[in-house]
Structure 1
Amino acid sequence: MFNLDWIYYAISWILLTWHSAWDAIGVPAEAVIGTNFSWILAIVFLVVTVRVILFPVFVKQIKSQRAMQALQPKVKELQEKHKGDRETLQKEMMELYRKEKANPLMGCLPMFLQIPVFLGLFHVLKRLNPFKEEDKKTLYGWAVDQFNSASHAKLFTAPIAGKFGSTADELTNLGANGTTVKVIAGILVLVMMGTTYLTSRQMILKTGWAEDPQQRMVQRLMLYGIPLSLLVSGSIFPIGVIIYWVTNNLFTLGQQQWVLRKYPPLVTTPAKGAGVGRGPVQPAKSGGLFGRKAAQAPAKQAPSAPKVAAPKPGAKPVNPKKGRPAKRQG
């Protein structure tokens, strides 16, 4: 088993540093409308700290997705060429990715890097219990008064260490009302599912569905599978962890919007003579976030025949043959 204490120490240090900062600037430690805002803000700014650290990785993710999208015509050619030969197809595609320096797994890297942070926060908040032994309260750099303060921290009277599936003993130790905890946790789980879906949908709408079946399967898993799995797994997450997840999703929505404006999605143009399929992939022009093409100028019309003036009313009809010189006789 890996020793994850370094993660617990790092998460605790960031959390306690932000809590001390909010205390220093006058955020009340006591509950206001049933909420201890200094601890809630500490969790929110834990997200901000992690996302700022991971921002360069996020930009690399976007660039990698652009590279993968640009390779779709070549991937489609390989699929047609090696249809029925899956082993050769995989080798050719891996060689193509290596040659073009594209990484299909890069799209999931930011999410994977945040998993240790999520697990660390989950472990730290799960420990919060005012009845723990004094020596266990000081683990991972916590002071006793900090531990006790966090153990009593609430969101709308629901402890941040409570969860939808808390047992009666856990609720008693936290001094919490079971119905209140279930209502607050249930609402947060639904918000967590919705924002998780929106983050994936936002990216897919801008970059399009992948041509590669494996990548498309990953996209579908992220769009539908992960949000649905949270309906079950969310019941074991402490409320503080769900606050972290929702904040992280909202941060992702804003960050993706900014990055997609800075690095516009690629647009595809139909190949000549092809009813179905795509031609070369080109960068989106400055015409909006979706890379809309500029309207084409209307085709020039052929010059019309010169108009002939109509005869005036009451004028005698003109015989076009009259006035022509007579033909000479043989």
Structure 2
Amino acid sequence: MSLDWIYYAISWILLTWHSAWDAIGVPVDAVIGTNFAWILAIIFLVVTVRVILFPVFVKQIKSQRAMQALQPQVKALQEKHKGDRETLQKEMMELYRKEKANPLMGCLPMFLQIPVFLGLFHVLRRLDPAKQAKTLYGWSVEQFDSASNAKLFTAPIAGKFQSTTDELARLGANGTTVKIIAGVLVLVMMGTTYLTSRQMILKTGWAEDPQQRMIQRLMLYGIPLSLLVSGAIFPIGVIIYWVTNNLFTLGQQQWVLRKYPPPVTATKKATPAARNPVQPARQGGLFGRSKPAPQPPAKAAAPKVAAPKPGAKPVNPKKGRPAKRQG
């Protein structure tokens, strides 16, 4: 299956944004060693893709909320079918089908962005002055030459940590500078990738379902560590795209989690305040002594009446009272 339609789409978005920033007056020539029009074109490629995928992101959040609401039932099934993995999986799939919850929906936005990432990766890799097909995917020769000379702090956006000496020479780049810029960006990419997964897990908690928990661990630790190796072959422009996408995700998740907080399930342990709602009041300011809360006054004890002696006649208490005076 040809992926040319993806390359054409990515190229069109990049060229459109570059033309827009050029028309606004963003410098095309390098300022502090950076061609800001091309850097902004990559950043707004992220914005364009995320705006298109926003409805999918909303469905992802709804699916995650549905999965959280089912955690008590999932835990009950795990206790019921302990040791019978096949029956457990069958019952859980039936539960998800009945409640219209999709465990894979949480990864859907990431999967949909893979073609965009691969498209940008392919487009930036061909920004080599030695390439003959400069007008491929709708580029003009002028646009191709401008992009191949675009730099971030003097490091070409088409350069990568593992660029060969010949590639660096054709791009007019210094190998040490490219390695430093690419290395720093790879570390930032790993850190922001870890933070996006950590942010979601801190708000929603670890899943009870073993498969969901395994996916969470893969997202939290596996993917950031894999970037330490794979990041060396990514062009600098692709790493800029990834970091921008992570920052966009952090902001979007923070807004959604604040506006639609995760549901409190019965599996969560009660807080100390919930277990012991009566707490002593603390008075006296930050460094004052702790005083106990005021207690209601105790009821006065009724006076004790001596028991009558054996054989004595009972005394009527009303007879001992003085008669009321009449005016």
TM-score class normalised by the smaller sequence? 0.7 to 0.9
State the alpha-carbon separation in 1 of the partners of residues 163 and 20 from structure 2.
31
The letter for the 2-side match of 1:187 is V
1:238 counterpart residue number? 235
The letter for the 2-side match of 1:161 is A
Residues 209-266 of structure 1: CA deviation (Å, up to 9, x unaligned): 0001110010000000000000000000000000000000000000001111221111
Q: Secondary structure at the match of 2:264?
A: strand
The yes-or-no answer on 1:114 pairing with 2:104 is no
State the alpha-carbon separation in 1 of the partners of residues 296 and 46 from structure 2.
66
> What is the CA distance between 1:301 and its match in structure 2?
9.7
The yes-or-no answer on 1:159 pairing with 2:152 is no
Contact 1:104/1:215 (8 A) holds in 2: yes
State the alpha-carbon separation in 2 of the partners of residues 253 and 296 from structure 1.
35
> What is the CA distance between 1:77 and its match in structure 2?
1.0
Contact 1:39/1:150 (8 A) holds in 2: yes
> What is the CA distance between 1:59 and its match in structure 2?
0.7
State the alpha-carbon separation in 2 of the partners of residues 28 and 301 from structure 1.
71
1:64 counterpart residue number? 63
State the alpha-carbon separation in 1 of the partners of residues 294 and 266 from structure 2.
26
The yes-or-no answer on 1:306 pairing with 2:299 is yes
The yes-or-no answer on 1:264 pairing with 2:288 is no
1:254 counterpart residue number? 251
1:313 counterpart residue number? none
> What is the CA distance between 1:305 and its match in structure 2?
3.1
The letter for the 1-side match of 2:145 is N
The yes-or-no answer on 1:91 pairing with 2:84 is no
TM-score w.r.t. length of structure 2: 0.84
> Structure 2: 5+ residue runs without aligned partners?
281-292, 307-311, 315-327
State the alpha-carbon separation in 2 of the partners of residues 303 and 216 from structure 1.
51
State the alpha-carbon separation in 2 of the partners of residues 199 and 217 from structure 1.
17
Contact 1:73/1:278 (8 A) holds in 2: no
Residues 18-72 of structure 1: CA deviation (Å, up to 9, x unaligned): 0000000000110000000000000000000000000010011011001001101
State the alpha-carbon separation in 1 of the partners of residues 295 and 34 from structure 2.
75
Q: Which moved more, 1:82-91 or 1:136-145?
A: 82-91
1:168 counterpart residue number? 165
Contact 2:68/2:265 (8 A) holds in 1: no
State the alpha-carbon separation in 1 of the partners of residues 187 and 279 from structure 2.
50
2:285 counterpart residue number? none
Residues 275-318 of structure 1: CA deviation (Å, up to 9, x unaligned): xx779xxxxxxxxxxxx98x95779999653358xxxxxxxxxx
2:73 counterpart residue number? 74
When the two chains are superposed, the root-mean-square deviation of aligned CA atoms in Å is 2.6
State the alpha-carbon separation in 2 of the partners of residues 266 and 296 from structure 1.
22
State the alpha-carbon separation in 1 of the partners of residues 296 and 129 from structure 2.
90
State the alpha-carbon separation in 2 of the partners of residues 75 and 251 from structure 1.
33
1:200 counterpart residue number? 197
2:12 counterpart residue number? 13
State the alpha-carbon separation in 2 of the partners of residues 328 and 244 from structure 1.
104
State the alpha-carbon separation in 2 of the partners of residues 255 and 116 from structure 1.
21
State the alpha-carbon separation in 1 of the partners of residues 83 and 27 from structure 2.
66
Q: Secondary structure at the match of 1:198?
A: helix
The letter for the 1-side match of 2:86 is E
The letter for the 2-side match of 1:170 is E
> What is the CA distance between 1:173 and its match in structure 2?
0.9
State the alpha-carbon separation in 2 of the partners of residues 303 and 226 from structure 1.
60
The letter for the 2-side match of 1:42 is A
State the alpha-carbon separation in 2 of the partners of residues 213 and 19 from structure 1.
46
1:179 counterpart residue number? 176
The letter for the 2-side match of 1:36 is N
> What is the CA distance between 1:6 and its match in structure 2?
0.3
1:288 counterpart residue number? none
State the alpha-carbon separation in 2 of the partners of residues 146 and 263 from structure 1.
44
Identity %: 83
2:25 counterpart residue number? 26
Contact 2:12/2:138 (8 A) holds in 1: yes
> What is the CA distance between 1:83 and its match in structure 2?
1.3
Q: Secondary structure at the match of 1:79?
A: helix
Q: Which moved more, 1:254-263 or 1:222-231?
A: 254-263
Contact 2:46/2:241 (8 A) holds in 1: yes
The letter for the 1-side match of 2:106 is G
Q: Secondary structure at the match of 1:268?
A: coil
2:290 counterpart residue number? none
Bigger CA radius of gyration:
2
State the alpha-carbon separation in 2 of the partners of residues 248 and 261 from structure 1.
20
The letter for the 1-side match of 2:77 is L
State the alpha-carbon separation in 1 of the partners of residues 92 and 265 from structure 2.
21
